[in-house]
């Protein structure tokens, strides 16, 4: 791997993630609009939102940690994107592996939590308390899924997993139950209904985001694009055979993101304890049954 | 060498003349006792050197064994004689005004020396009774109702114990026709049947009353709680051991049988468990120490049940250690005692006494590198070497007891180190010689920590020598008896 | 004279020196120097950690026929260096203003210094043990030294918990003694090698008994389930730097002995041979470890006192160490061993930050703090690094060791243990966020407006420890050679390592890359943040959206109490206090028997007892000997 | 007509600055987050405007729940004096550029509550209002038209100067503060430090200060942010 290739990966992997992620945001909003028989936002709406937020004249900050929180939230995902192999760009990703990646995915949450904490807004703190609880809820099935996949493919490297699937069958065929459990966890991970108690706009004023304005909010919008992209690509790599080129990978990723979105808007939301209860019951059960088959 | 008879005779004589002397000068009466004891100490020391690694028998009244009265002198008996003299000196009632008490102490010492030295059962019994009488007297000297009740209880159970002892001796006499221990040792086969062993059981339980053996030790807490601390130190530290000496003599010379060992092992274990359990609930320092003392006598019986010279040396070590520690603790109790709540903040009033207290109990618990640890270690290892279910159980019991003991001892220590109420002090402010002696004991304990190896070697020598029936027989019995045997 | 003799002599002289000068002002300057000196002695012995031979002491003792000698292996050295660094940091921490405040508050400062060196001395003695007897003696020393440290606090609770500790510790010591006795009884020897020899000769039930006894002994010290109850309160009540030291390393002596005795001499084969293939001793220990990671962590989540929260986490993290080592493979055991050092570094730093906050505000109650980040930014930084380490997130060192443990569980196909470990990590994240949020983030209280950063004497050790937390996370290769030597010396498979991490066929770890990527991400994030957006303006904390409500300083709105209500709503009912119940019921059973025996001693007719005793004794003899005899 | 107030304009050194400014303004007009402060009956007309019938989102407008995130403050009906305090607090916490839309007659002149002692009659006395949508109540079409008007204003602000009414609040703070004080009393204070903000963004003029701000200074509790400090 030469320096040029390295530079390219370092720059383009997050960039691609950002662009694709914006499209996923658009798709998400379109899906919800269509489900509600609306037209939905124009094509560039995600971009407009982000540019506008970054371009605000007033930006209030509650202190250095508030700033650092946003940097960590965005930066953590940028790091995660680099560790997430995509066709043609998998040099650095080999250094980490799926365990490292799943840890990287916790860093943005922690960063955001720090930033929100410094805002000294009780709504924000309540939101974070709920968000971390939700993380506890969805990470258990998620980690079961990661374990099952890694065991099945006999590798903790996503590249190895993709190679295995390219040679054999897709993971979703070989481990359907685990794939379903993964989808469940994904729903929680994306914080979509019915698992969006920590945002709860009407009760706690969007919780963690309550004091986020301007580029702070913009950072979170960027983070959302990364989040959707990561979820889509990660799931596609784990269960849908990844892709040899973006042409084969991206449709799968979009499909993966579209699925929870379509389900999401049909639900109200669960209380925090019910989120844990449901995520610890069904997907975990599915995961364990599936593991029993795999092991 | 025959002057050693004086060990017993001098205090006995002193006991009788002290009331007479007191008529003329109370000062003189007060000092008679200590002077006698000092003379005894000197005698013991000279005898210690003379005896060397051998043994010596003194025949009294011109009759040769197995008929006459015999004193058997070796390092074991001398060791105990020395301890008796020093302990009585330490607890001598300097501030008592009554000469009768001096007499009783002298009587007590005379009986104790007799117990340590005698080599036939009848004399042992006589001295044992004498000791009992002296103790009743001393306890009854306390002029309060609870002391009276305690001494009455002690009297009842102790006399019942004496009856058992006598019964045991009678059985032995019936079986063998002799009461000389050396003589008995030559005809053990007569005694190893059910009748003989039941005699041993009766003797053990009878003497066990004084040796704080379970279940005949219910007097302990009450008596120790009502008598002066020095006297408790004497009783718990020394007199209890003298009763054990009686048992040891019977056990090692005559009854080296598994059934006897098992008996001692079982009562020992029960003693340990019951003592520790009750001490655990105690809220009064003296009561706690009393029951702890019961438990440690239990450990002593367990050690004896190992048998032979190993058992003996461990037993001696335990006795010496317990004498130092429990004696020291009871002497400390002269400075502070009572309910735990009263002891709150003691360490702030007197850090030194708390520290001394701590040293004692740490050694009692067997914390390395204090001597208690080495004793416990050696005991447990020896038990393990014997193997067998009961011995393993004994190991478990001893170690469990240590845990319980830690719990209650440190419950007290914790109270001591709590912040004190400003106005009240738990300390007994008047000068107390006992406290000085307690510190001395602690110092001795610490010094012996450094000399664990030589001391243990010495004790093993003593035990090897004393636990050997052949030496005993050869020393005591005239040749013709041996000739018959061989 | 070998280097080990020198080490013992130096440590002992330090003990004497500090005990002599402990009440003089000079002890502040002297103590760190002395710990530095011991550290230098250890560094001189460093060859042992790079594959060199173990050091033997030139002297030995022969007491009562038991031989004792001492040795220093890679394992000993590894634990010793952690001990000394923790001690040095604690000594520096307490040497300046903290010590002054402690003295003025009526604390016995000299005693604290003494307790620290006594602890170090006894730990070195334990680590240097060369046979079972010296191990036992060192073990008791360590127990009593910790006890000394714990009772220093004047509070009644501290004393009570210290007594509870010592009862537990004695139980452990007695279990160890029984185990030693079992070993000794076979061949009359107390050498370590006897363990495996004797173990092989034993019957199945004896093997179970031996392993359980050893494990109970060590588990009590380490606070593993179900013996975890003593630890947290006792450590939390220990005076500041003492708590940091104890929390960092003291209970890890249990880990040391587990590695030394169980791993080295009983080994995987030994553990597996006990029990059936489905549920053998290894499974049992692994599950004990897994439950230890979970239960104490979730108890920590409930705490609202910072020190207790940390202390409970200390208990929980012990589970990871055992979980790693019990896997017996190269990565798992490396993770378990490495976690000892990692945990020590961040736990000490975290305890120190809490003590620093207490130094300034006088409380560690998480409901009475908040918003201190502006007042104590460096302390905040240390706590941040510490909690990232504790939660096991990259790029701190806690991540590396946990990664190794996870990897090993994955390789060994242990999904349930894996989930248990993750459950522990997630609980830790929740709980440490609560810690940092309630202390440093959120609303600053009116009474804390004038709080300042702590003095340098306290900051330097904290920052130093956090540098260790970071550097060993960034370049685990600095530590891994030591781990490899330890593995070699105790006969485990040796890990293949390089500066950045480990090499492993099915996916290794290179922390330099991982951290590099992370920092690259942060860098890009910072670029985006600072150059793409408008300029931001700092606002006052009361300029805050509360649904149109006007916030004022007299209204507290810091969200701190019952921080995770949703979670507690669900799992709150699962906290049954079962172990507390167990402990209480043991005490109740004891009381029952105690009352029983007390009644015997109270009997109105003592002579009856005598007669019963005689009759029973005769009966027993009669049955024993038979009629004819 | 109000006179033109001079503000110090920052030097823009970047040759592309105007391009950026135009782009940002374009995006601002395309993306508007709306905080609807539903004080009165007009709120009932918002759901149809948001949902499938009229679908605000296709204009890039979507509801947000906190003033920090919002661009538009939508006041839908009469504003009682008690409510007005909250409205002002909320307005001040919004991030510039920010816009106010008054819906219903009540916000224009008090409407049917014109003689009530408890309502504020003209909203633009207390904060600069960009667009009024009159009617009792205005239909969703009118709401949509008003929003569209606002978008156009923002887009064409460079030429028509209709889209930056928010600057007026900083430039003539004394005037607004005076009206607020008249209603709420002398010790009226919000947690947001408007003067400091005006200074920071270079929007202060001579009319920012006056006797009302002096009065404010007298009663004000200081609002300096906590400094992060090591010593």
Q: What is the pLDDT of residues C138-159, one digit of tens each?
A: 999 999 998 888 888 888 888 8
What was the pLDDT predicted at B63?
66
Q: What is the pLDDT of residues C394-427, one digit of tens each?
A: 888 899 899 889 888 888 888 888 888 888 998 9
Q: Does the distance separating the beta carbons of C529 and A67 come in below 8 Å?
A: yes
Task: Count Cα atoms within 13 angstroms, Cβ side, for C54.
Answer: 19
Cα–Cα distance, D56 to B162 (Å, whole number): 109
Q: Is the per-residue pLDDT at A202 higher than 80?
A: no
Minimal C-alpha gap between C592 and chain B (Å): 10
Q: What is the pLDDT of residues B232-242, one digit of tens each?
A: 888 877 888 88
What was the pLDDT predicted at C350?
92
Q: Is C537 on the interface with D (CB under 8 A)?
A: yes
How many residues can be counted in chain D? Answer: 231
Instruction: Give helix B351-365 / helix B389-416 axis angle, nearest 10°.
Output: 170
Minimal C-alpha gap between D229 and chain C (Å): 6
Q: For testing the chain C interface, which of B225, B255, B403, B405 should be mutated: the one with the most C CBs within 10 Å?
A: B403
Cα–Cα distance, A21 to A28 (Å, whole number): 10
CA-nearest of B398, B388, B381 to C185 is B381
Helix (H) or strand (E) holding B281: helix B258-281
Cα dist. C560→A121, A212, B1, C149, C575 in Å?
Answer: 11, 21, 86, 32, 21
Minimal C-alpha gap between B91 and chain C (Å): 28
Reported confidence tier of residue D136, pLDDT bands at 50, 70, 90: confident
Query: Does residue C387 have a cis bond before it (omega within 30 degrees)?
Result: no
- Across A208-230, average pLDDT: 88
Q: Is the per-residue pLDDT at C466 higher than 70?
A: yes
Q: What pTM does this model have? A: 0.90
Reported confidence tier of residue C628, pLDDT bands at 50, 70, 90: very low
With beta carbons under 8 A apart, name residues in chain C contacting A130: 566
Q: Is A247 on the interface with C (CB under 8 A)?
A: no
3-state class (DSSP) for residue C502: strand
- Across A1-17, average pLDDT: 81
Quickly tell me which residue has 């015997």 as its tokens. Answer: C600
Percentages (nearest 5) of helix, strand, coil residues in chain B: 80, 5, 20
Q: Is the per-residue pLDDT at C437 higher than 80?
A: yes
Q: Which of C535, C540, C548 lies nearest to residue D225, judging by beta carbons?
A: C540
DSSP letter (8 states) at residue C551: P
Cα dist. D145→C201, D40, D127 in Å?
Answer: 94, 20, 22
Q: Is B399 on the interface with C (CB under 8 A)?
A: yes
With beta carbons under 8 A apart, name residues in chain B contacting C612: 215
Q: Which residues pair with C68 in a beta bridge?
A: C61
The answer for C 510-549 residues in CB contact with A (under 8 A) is 510, 513-514, 517-518, 520-526, 528-529, 532-539, 541, 543-547
Q: What is the pLDDT of residues C468-505, one digit of tens each?
A: 999 998 988 888 899 999 998 888 888 888 888 888 77
Tell me whether strands D72-76 and D61-63 are parallel, antiparallel or unpaired.
Answer: unpaired
Higher pLDDT among residues C348 and D46, named by residue: C348
The structural domains of chain B, with segments of one domain joined by +, span: 1-141, 142-485
With beta carbons under 8 A apart, name residues in chain A contacting D30: 42, 44-45, 48, 52
Q: C505 CB contacts (<8 Å, ≥6 apart)?
A: none
Q: Does the distance separating the beta carbons of A273 and C569 come in below 8 Å?
A: yes
What was the pLDDT predicted at C385?
93
Q: Does the distance separating the beta carbons of D228 and C548 come in below 8 Å?
A: no
Q: Does the distance separating the beta carbons of C537 and A139 come in below 8 Å?
A: no
Cα–Cα distance, C290 to C422 (Å, whole number): 10
Q: How many CB atoms lie within 10 A of CB C287?
A: 17
Burial D205-215, CB ≥16 within 10 A → b, else e: bebbbbebbeb
Q: Which of D87, D227, D230 lies nearest to residue C378, judging by beta carbons?
A: D230
Q: C409 CB contacts (<8 Å, ≥6 apart)?
A: C323, C327, C332, C417, C418, C421
Q: Which residue of A has its CA nearest to C444?
A: A120
With beta carbons under 8 A apart, name residues in chain D contacting A214: 95
Reported confidence tier of residue D9, pLDDT bands at 50, 70, 90: low
Q: B253: which 2 tokens?
A: 């010379």
Cα–Cα distance, A59 to D94 (Å, whole number): 9
Q: For testing the chain C interface, which of A52, A80, A99 should be mutated: the one with the most C CBs within 10 Å?
A: A99
Touching pair D, B by Cβ (3+ pairs < 8 Å): no
Q: Does the distance separating the beta carbons of D68 and C548 come in below 8 Å?
A: no
Cα–Cα distance, C259 to C214 (Å, whole number): 11
The answer for C 596-625 residues in CB contact with B (under 8 A) is 596-598, 600-603, 606-607, 609-614, 617-618, 620-622, 624-625
Q: What is the pLDDT of residues C307-362, one digit of tens each?
A: 999 999 999 999 999 999 988 888 889 999 999 999 999 999 999 999 999 998 98
Instruction: Name the average pLDDT for chain C.
Output: 87
Domains of chain D from N-terminus onward = 17-164 (3.40.50.12280), 172-222 (no CATH)
Instruction: Name the average pLDDT for chain B.
Output: 83
Q: Is C205 on the interface with B (CB under 8 A)?
A: no
Q: For testing the chain C interface, which of B406, B412, B449, B461 should be mutated: the one with the most C CBs within 10 Å?
A: B406
Q: Rg of chain A's alpha carbons, rounded to an integer?
A: 19
Q: What is the pLDDT of residues A55-89, one digit of tens each?
A: 888 888 888 888 889 999 999 998 888 888 887 77
Higher pLDDT among residues C629 and C186, named by residue: C186
Q: Does the distance separating the beta carbons of C517 and A83 come in below 8 Å?
A: yes
Cα–Cα distance, D214 to D223 (Å, whole number): 16
Q: Does the distance separating the beta carbons of D93 and C540 come in below 8 Å?
A: no
Q: Is the per-residue pLDDT at C382 higher than 90?
A: yes
Q: Is D27 on the interface with A (CB under 8 A)?
A: yes
What was the pLDDT predicted at D231?
66
Task: Count Cα atoms within 13 angstroms, Cβ side, for D50.
Answer: 13
Q: Is D16 on the interface with C (CB under 8 A)?
A: no
What was the pLDDT predicted at B486?
40
Quickly tell me which residue has 């043990």 as its tokens. Answer: C129
Q: What is the pLDDT of residues C254-289, one digit of tens each?
A: 899 989 888 888 888 888 887 776 778 888 888 999
Cα–Cα distance, B441 to C459 (Å, whole number): 48
Contact B340, B283 (CB under 8 A): yes
Cα–Cα distance, C419 to A185 (Å, whole number): 14
Q: Does the distance separating the beta carbons of B157 and C606 come in below 8 Å?
A: yes
Higher pLDDT among residues B417 and C173, named by residue: C173
What was the pLDDT predicted at A155?
80
Reported confidence tier of residue D80, pLDDT bands at 50, 70, 90: confident
Q: Is B164 on the interface with C (CB under 8 A)?
A: yes
Tell me what percent of the residues of chain D surpass a pLDDT of 90: 1
Q: Which residue of A has its CA nearest to D65?
A: A205
What was the pLDDT predicted at B481?
63
CA-nearest of A116, A118, A120, A141 to A131 is A116
Q: Is C62 on the interface with B (CB under 8 A)?
A: yes
Reported confidence tier of residue C124, pLDDT bands at 50, 70, 90: very high
What was the pLDDT predicted at B20?
85
Q: How many CB atoms lie within 10 A of CB A169?
A: 12
What was the pLDDT predicted at C120?
92
Instruction: Name the average pLDDT for chain D.
Output: 83
Quickly tell me which residue has 């990364």 as its tokens. Answer: A226
Q: Which of D58, D96, D97 lies nearest to residue A42, judging by beta carbons?
A: D58
Q: What is the pLDDT of residues B372-404, one digit of tens each?
A: 888 888 888 888 888 778 888 898 899 999 999
- Across A152-169, average pLDDT: 82
With beta carbons under 8 A apart, name residues in chain D contacting A202: 65
The structural domains of chain A, with segments of one domain joined by +, span: 3-294
Higher pLDDT among residues A47 and C506, named by residue: A47
* Beta strands across the sheet bearing C497-498: C497-498, C501-502, C509-510
Q: What is the pLDDT of residues D156-165, one digit of tens each?
A: 877 777 778 8
Q: Which residue of C has its CA nearest to A124?
A: C559
Instruction: Give helix C97-104 / helix C74-95 axis angle, nearest 10°.
Output: 70
Q: Is the per-residue pLDDT at D37 higher than 80?
A: yes
3-state class (DSSP) for residue B217: coil
Q: Does the distance separating the beta carbons of B410 and C614 come in below 8 Å?
A: no
Q: Which of B215, B259, B278 lies nearest to residue C613, judging by beta carbons?
A: B215
Q: For testing the chain C interface, which of B215, B265, B405 should be mutated: the one with the most C CBs within 10 Å?
A: B215
Q: Is B157 on the interface with C (CB under 8 A)?
A: yes
Tell me what percent of the residues of chain C surpass a pLDDT of 90: 21
- Across B218-226, average pLDDT: 80
Cα–Cα distance, C234 to C249 (Å, whole number): 14
Reported confidence tier of residue C627, pLDDT bands at 50, 70, 90: very low
Q: How far does Cα C335 stand from its chain's mean position?
A: 15
Higher pLDDT among residues A198 and B425, named by residue: A198
- Across B93-117, average pLDDT: 84
Reported confidence tier of residue C629, pLDDT bands at 50, 70, 90: very low
Cα–Cα distance, C341 to C479 (Å, whole number): 9
Q: Which residue of A has its CA nearest to D224?
A: A62
Q: Which residue of D has its CA nearest to A57?
A: D96
Q: Does the distance separating the beta carbons of A144 and C373 come in below 8 Å?
A: no
Q: How far does Cα C487 stand from its chain's mean position?
A: 20
- Across C439-465, average pLDDT: 88
With beta carbons under 8 A apart, name residues in chain D contacting A29: 57
> In this complex, which chains have at least 3 CB pairs below 8 Å with chain D?
A, C
Minimal C-alpha gap between C538 and chain D (Å): 6
């Amino acid at each position: 791997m030469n320096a040029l290739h390295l530079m390219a990966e370092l720059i383009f992997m997050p960039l691609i993630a950002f662009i694709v992620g914006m499209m996923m945001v658009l798709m998400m909003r379109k899906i919800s609009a269509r489900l509600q028989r609306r037209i939905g936002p124009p094509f560039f709406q995600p971009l407009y939102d982000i540019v506008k937020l970054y371009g605000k004249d007033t930006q209030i900050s509650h202190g250095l940690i508030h700033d650092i929180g946003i940097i960590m939230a965005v930066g953590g995902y940028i790091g995660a994107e680099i560790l997430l192999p995509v066709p043609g760009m998998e040099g650095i990703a080999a250094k980490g592996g799926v365990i490292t990646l799943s840890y990287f995915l916790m860093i943005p949450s922690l960063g955001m939590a720090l930033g929100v904490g410094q805002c000294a807004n009780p709504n924000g703190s309540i939101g974070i308390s709920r968000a971390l609880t939700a993380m506890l809820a969805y990470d258990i099935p998620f980690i079961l899924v990661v374990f099952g996949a890694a065991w099945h493919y006999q590798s903790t490297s996503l590249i190895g997993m993709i190679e295995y699937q390219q040679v054999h069958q897709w993971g979703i065929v070989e481990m359907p139950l685990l794939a379903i459990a993964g989808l469940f966890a994904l729903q929680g991970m994306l914080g979509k209904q019915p698992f969006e108690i920590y945002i709860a706009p009407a009760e706690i004023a969007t919780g963690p985001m309550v004091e986020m304005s301007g580029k702070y909010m913009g950072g979170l919008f960027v983070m959302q694009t990364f989040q959707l992209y990561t979820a889509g690509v990660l799931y596609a790599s784990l269960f849908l055979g990844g892709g040899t080129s973006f042409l084969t990978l991206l449709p799968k990723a979009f499909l993966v993101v579209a699925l929870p979105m379509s389900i999401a808007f049909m639900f109200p939301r669960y209380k925090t304890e019910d989120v844990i209860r449901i995520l610890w019951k069904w997907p975990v059960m599915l995961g364990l049954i599936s593991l029993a088959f795999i092991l | 060498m025959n002057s050693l008879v004086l060990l017993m005779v001098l205090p006995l004589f002193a006991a009788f003349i002290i009331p007479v002397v007191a008529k003329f000068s109370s000062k003189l009466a007060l000092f008679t006792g200590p002077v006698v004891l000092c003379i005894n100490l000197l005698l013991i020391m000279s005898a210690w050197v003379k005896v060397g690694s051998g043994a010596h028998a003194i025949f009294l009244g011109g009759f040769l064994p197995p008929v006459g009265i015999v004193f058997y002198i070796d390092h074991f008996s001398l060791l105990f004689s020395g301890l008796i003299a020093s302990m009585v000196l330490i607890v001598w009632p300097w501030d008592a005004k009554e000469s009768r008490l001096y007499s009783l102490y002298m009587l007590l010492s005379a009986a104790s020396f007799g117990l340590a030295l005698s080599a036939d059962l009848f004399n042992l019994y006589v001295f044992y009774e004498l000791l009992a009488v002296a103790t009743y007297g001393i306890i009854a000297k306390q002029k309060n109702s609870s002391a009276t009740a305690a001494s009455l209880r002690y009297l009842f159970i102790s006399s019942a114990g004496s009856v058992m002892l006598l019964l045991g001796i009678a059985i032995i006499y019936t079986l063998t026709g002799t009461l000389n221990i050396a003589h008995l040792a030559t005809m053990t086969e007569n005694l190893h049947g059910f009748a003989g062993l039941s005699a041993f059981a009766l003797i053990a339980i009878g003497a066990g009353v004084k040796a704080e053996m379970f279940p005949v030790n219910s007097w302990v807490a009450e008596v120790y709680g009502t008598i002066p601390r020095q006297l408790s130190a004497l009783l718990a530290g020394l007199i209890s051991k003298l009763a054990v000496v009686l048992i040891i003599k019977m056990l090692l010379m005559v009854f080296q049988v598994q059934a006897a060992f098992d008996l001692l092992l079982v009562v020992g274990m029960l003693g340990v468990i019951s003592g520790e359990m009750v001490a655990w609930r105690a809220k009064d320092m003296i009561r706690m120490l009393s029951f702890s003392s019961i438990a440690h006598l239990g450990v002593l019986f367990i050690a004896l049940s190992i048998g032979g010279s190993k058992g003996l040396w461990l037993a001696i070590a335990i006795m010496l250690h317990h004498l130092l520690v429990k004696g020291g603790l009871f002497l400390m109790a002269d400075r502070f005692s009572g309910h735990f709540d009263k002891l709150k903040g003691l360490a702030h009033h007197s850090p030194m006494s708390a520290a001394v207290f701590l040293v004692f109990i740490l050694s009692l618990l067997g914390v390395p590198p204090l001597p208690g640890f080495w004793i416990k270690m050696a005991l447990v290892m020896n038990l393990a070497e014997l193997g067998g279910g009961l011995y393993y159980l004994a190991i478990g019991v001893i170690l469990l007891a240590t845990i319980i003991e830690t719990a209650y001892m440190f419950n007290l220590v914790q109270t001591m180190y709590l912040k004190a109420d400003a106005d009240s002090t738990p300390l007994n402010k008047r000068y107390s010689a006992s406290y000085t002696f307690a510190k001395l004991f602690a110092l001795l304990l610490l010094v012996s920590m450094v000399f664990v190896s030589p001391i243990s070697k010495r004790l093993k020598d003593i035990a090897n020598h004393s636990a050997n029936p052949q030496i005993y027989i050869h020393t005591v019995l005239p040749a013709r008896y041996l000739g018959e045997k061989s | 004279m070998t280097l080990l003799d020198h080490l013992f002599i130096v440590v002992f002289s330090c003990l004497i020196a500090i005990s002599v000068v402990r009440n003089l002002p000079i002890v502040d300057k002297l103590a760190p120097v002395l710990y530095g000196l011991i550290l230098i002695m250890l560094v001189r012995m460093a060859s042992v950690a790079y594959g060199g031979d173990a050091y033997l002491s030139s002297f030995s003792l022969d007491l009562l026929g038991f031989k004792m000698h001492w040795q220093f292996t890679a394992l000993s050295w590894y634990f010793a260096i952690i001990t000394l660094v923790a001690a040095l940091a604690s000594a520096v921490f307490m040497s300046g203003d903290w010590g002054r405040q402690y003295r003025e508050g009526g604390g016995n400062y000299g005693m604290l210094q003494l307790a620290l060196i006594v602890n170090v001395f006894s730990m070195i003695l334990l680590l240097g043990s060369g046979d079972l007897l010296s191990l036992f003696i060192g073990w008791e020393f360590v127990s009593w030294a910790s006890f000394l440290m714990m009772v220093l606090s004047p509070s009644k609770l501290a004393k009570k918990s210290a007594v509870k500790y010592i009862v537990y510790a004695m139980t452990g010591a007695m279990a160890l003694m029984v185990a030693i006795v079992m070993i000794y009884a076979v061949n009359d020897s107390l050498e370590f090698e006897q363990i495996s020899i004797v173990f092989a000769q034993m019957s199945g039930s004896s093997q179970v008994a031996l392993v359980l006894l050893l494990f109970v002994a060590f588990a009590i010290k380490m606070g593993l389930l179900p013996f975890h109850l003593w630890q947290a309160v006792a450590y939390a009540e220990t005076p500041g730097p003492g708590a940091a030291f104890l929390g960092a390393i003291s209970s890890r002596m249990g880990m040391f002995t587990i590695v030394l005795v169980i791993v080295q001499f009983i080994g995987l084969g030994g553990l597996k041979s006990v029990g059936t293939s489905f549920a053998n001793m290894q499974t049992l220990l692994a599950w004990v470890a897994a439950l230890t990671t979970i239960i104490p962590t979730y108890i920590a989540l409930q705490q609202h006192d910072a020190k207790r929260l940390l202390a409970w986490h200390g208990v929980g993290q012990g589970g990871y160490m055992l979980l790693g080592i019990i896997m017996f493979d190269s990565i798992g055991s490396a993770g378990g061993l490495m976690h000892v050092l990692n945990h020590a570094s961040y736990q000490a730093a975290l305890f120190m930050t809490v003590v620093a906050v207490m130094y300034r505000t006088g409380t560690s109650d998480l409901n009475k703090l908040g918003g201190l980040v502006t007042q104590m930014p460096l302390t905040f930084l240390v706590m941040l690094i510490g909690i990232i380490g504790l939660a096991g997130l990259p790029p701190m060192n806690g991540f590396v060791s946990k990664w190794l443990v996870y990897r090993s569980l994955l390789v060994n196909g242990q999904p349930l243990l894996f989930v248990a470990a993750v459950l522990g990590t997630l609980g830790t994240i929740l709980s440490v966020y609560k810690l940092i949020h309630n202390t440093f983030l959120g609303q600053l209280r009116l009474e804390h407006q004038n709080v300042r950063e702590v003095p340098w004497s306290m900051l330097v050790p904290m920052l130093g420890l956090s540098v260790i937390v970071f550097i060993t996370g960034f370049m685990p290769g600095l530590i891994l050679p030591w781990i490899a030597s330890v593995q070699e010396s105790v006969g485990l498979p040796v890990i293949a390592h390089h500066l950045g991490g480990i090499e492993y066929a099915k996916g290794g770890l290179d922390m330099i890359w991982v951290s590099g990527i992370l920092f690259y991400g942060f860098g890009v994030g910072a670029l985006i943040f600072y150059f793409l957006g408008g300029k931001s303006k700092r606002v006052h904390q009361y300029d805050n959206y509360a649904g149109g409500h006007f916030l004022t300083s007299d209204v507290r709105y810091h969200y701190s109490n019952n921080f995770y209500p949703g979670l507690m709503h669900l799992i709150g009912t699962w906290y049954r206090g079962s172990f507390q119940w167990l402990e209480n019921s043991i005490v109740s059973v004891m009381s029952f028997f105690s009352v029983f025996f007390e009644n015997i001693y109270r009997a109105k007719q003592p002579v009856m007892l005598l007669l019963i005793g005689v009759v029973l004794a005769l009966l027993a003899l009669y049955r024993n000997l038979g009629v004819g005899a | 007509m109000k006179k033109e107030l001079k503000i110090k304009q920052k030097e823009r050194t970047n040759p592309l600055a105007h391009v950026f400014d135009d782009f940002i303004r374009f995006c601002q007009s395309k993306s508007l987050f709306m905080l609807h402060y539903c004080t009165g009956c007009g709120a009932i007309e918002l759901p149809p405007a948001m949902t499938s019938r009229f679908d605000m989102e296709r204009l890039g407008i979507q509801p947000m729940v906190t003033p920090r995130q919002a661009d538009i403050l939508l006041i839908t009906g009469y504003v009682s004096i008690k409510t007005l305090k909250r409205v002002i607090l909320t307005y001040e916490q919004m991030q510039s550029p920010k816009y106010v839309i008054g819906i219903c007659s009540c916000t224009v002149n008090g409407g049917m509550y014109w003689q009530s002692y408890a309502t504020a009659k003209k909203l633009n006395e207390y904060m600069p209002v960009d667009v009024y949508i009159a009617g009792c109540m205005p239909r969703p079409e009118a709401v949509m038209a008003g929003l569209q008007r606002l978008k156009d204003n923002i887009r064409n602000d460079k030429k028509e100067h209709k889209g930056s009414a928010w600057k007026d609040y900083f430039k003539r703070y004394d005037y607004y503060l005076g009206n607020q004080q008249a209603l709420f009393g002398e010790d009226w204070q919000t947690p947001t430090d408007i003067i400091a903000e005006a200074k920071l963004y270079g929007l202060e003029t001579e009319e920012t200060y006056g006797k009302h701000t002096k009065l404010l200074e007298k009663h004000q509790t200081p609002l300096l942010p906590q400094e992060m400090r090591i010593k």
